Structure 1
Amino acid sequence: MLEELGLKVNTINGRIRSVRGLIQFLHRESYLPRDYSADLPVLKAEKVIIQAFSEEEIARLLR
């Protein structure tokens, strides 16, 4: 549903983490009979590999 709004996976997972924290708090404070946060799915995000600077690029940056 949130993906249909054009939100990225990391944004959706952040919102899920927030809701999960709220549910865990409500359970600890006895507002909920059990911790329902385990039922919330986490979307798999693509791993992004970041390229390191080459020695030449570092030398150019430090000039």
Structure 2
Amino acid sequence: MPTILGAYQALSPGQTLRVTFDHDPSCMYYTLQATEAEGSFRFERGLDGPTVWSADVTRVR
């Protein structure tokens, strides 16, 4: 997860990181919720298993 978080933190406002997982990405959402300012990101789930999941994470500010 540290590499993904680093990639997210390198985004400029308005940029989106698309991440593909082999598991439910909820842990990434909860990590961002705990470490980033409220309202600073948008998390949109894409593919929803059973073998591939994805999420788009947009830096809002």
TM-score for the superposition, normalised by structure 2 = 0.30
Q: Rg: which structure is higher?
A: 1
TM-score for the superposition, normalised by structure 1 = 0.30
The structure richer in strand per residue is 2
The higher relative CO (CA closer than 8 Å, separation ≥ 6) is in 2
